[in-house]
Amino acid sequence: MTHTESSETRTYRGSCHCGGIEVEADLNIFHPETPFGAPMRCNCTFCRRRGAVTMLIGPSAFRLLKNETEARYQPKPEIGAYMFCGTCGVHVYATGSMDQLGGDFVTVNLDVFEDVPRDQITVAVLDGRDESWGVVGSGPMLG
């Protein structure tokens, strides 16, 4: 019943489905430092289609371990790029830079990590559609 262990930052390792891209990230899933740091979905036209639950972290908390199959998509090149596996199609991470997010950032797709406790995670929905970036809803990650 206690969550002592989960109150700390942990290193998670994951990959796309075919293994062409492998990543590692230091995540504090239960006690994010900012609203932007929580597990989140975004309601913008791209993220609705992408469907991923992501977390935003600093570049130093992210490591790209293997990168053999990367493809990228940049609907807003001035903000950043979404990385997908060109073989299996899975979205793994994104990189970008925005002043209101404190400069350079990385977001990771939580579903690429095998040992994330999905049934314990609450997901915030952020308003990227209107770019207010407020929290417009929340719900369980599930499964």
Question: Given the rule CB under 5 A, which residues bind Zn ion?
Answer: 16, 18, 20, 85, 87-88
Nearest distance in Å: CB 22, Zn ion? 10
Tokens of 36: 């932007």
d(C-alpha 80, C-alpha 104), whole Å: 9
The distance from CA 111 to its chain's CA centroid, rounded to whole angstroms, is: 9
User: Taking a C-beta distance cutoff of 8 angstroms, is the pair 18, 67 a contact?
Assistant: no
Report the residue closest to Zn ion, judged by CB.
85
Nearest distance in Å: CB 134, Zn ion? 34
> Smaller CB distance to Zn ion: residue 23 or 124?
23
Nearest distance in Å: CB 13, Zn ion? 15
